[in-house]
Amino acid sequence: MRSLRPLRSTWICLAATFALKLVVLLQLKDHVLTQPDAGLDTTAYVALADRVIAGDAGLGPGLYFLSPLYIYFLAAVLAVSHSFTAVRLLQIVLGTGAVALIYIASDEWFGRRAARLAAGLSALTGLFTFYESLLLQTALDPFLTAAAMACLTLALTRGHTRSAIRFSRTTNGLYSA
């Protein structure tokens, strides 16, 4: 059974992935279509997050017409930082975490070489990085999917069945939200 402790080379690769995502983020953050007031869902998310920050945590009356998780994620980050760049920055940190989780899951099933390839390909997938630079719920999808898959992998292949299944269930629940 391989150790889950990351090697120094893994940290370097993750730092490179973060740097790559940061470059894309800096290029896209001032684009007119990625602004909070661009209209459609981004604007609605920001308006709802503002209501949450103002104390209307239930957002009632009425039903959620957008994914609830992202509203609260946005509200939590904005309450602390008051900056959309911080939200985007956190999203690319989570995206880098997704690459690490893909590495862990692939390493368990297919070995180190396949894990490196899978992590490298996911780091170079433009679609993931693009969505992580936007203020949309899709920004969390790669991280939550990778987390669910990695937890499920650890539950099935190692002895941490109960805790890993619990984590997998939690990430799947968050993903559904």
Partner 1 sequence: MFVGPWLLIPLGLVGFVTAAPKATRLEYLIWGSFVPVYAVAVAVFYVTDRYQLPMCGHREHKDTEKNTLQVARSTRRRRAAGASVSQSLRGLSKSIHRRNCDDTEI
**Distance (Å, whole) CA 110 – CA 3:** 15
Tokens coding 20 = 């790559």
Closest approach of Cβ 38 to partner 1, in Å? 13
Examine residue 114 and tell whether it contacts partner 1 (CB under 8 A).
yes
6: preceding bond cis by omega (within 30 degrees): no
CB-based contact 141:50 (threshold 8 Å): no
Examine residue 110 and tell whether it contacts partner 1 (CB under 8 A).
yes
Examine residue 100 and tell whether it contacts partner 1 (CB under 8 A).
no
**Distance (Å, whole) CA 46 – CA 33:** 14
Q: For partner 1, what does the binding mask look like between residues 31 and 50, x meaning CB under 8 A?
A: ----------x---------
The amino acid occupying position 138 is T
Which residue carries 């894990």 as its tokens? 115
Q: First CA to last CA across the chain, in angstroms? A: 34
How far, in whole angstroms, is CA 123 from its chain's centroid? 13
Examine residue 68 and tell whether it contacts partner 1 (CB under 8 A).
no
Closest approach of Cβ 59 to partner 1, in Å? 16
Which lies closer to partner 1 via its Cβ, residue 84 or residue 128?
Answer: 128
Examine residue 126 and tell whether it contacts partner 1 (CB under 8 A).
yes
Which lies closer to partner 1 via its Cβ, residue 32 or residue 127?
Answer: 127
Note the residues at the interface with partner 1 (CB under 8 A). Answer: 24, 41, 65-66, 109-110, 114, 121-122, 124-127, 129, 131, 136-138, 141-142, 148-149, 152-153, 156-157
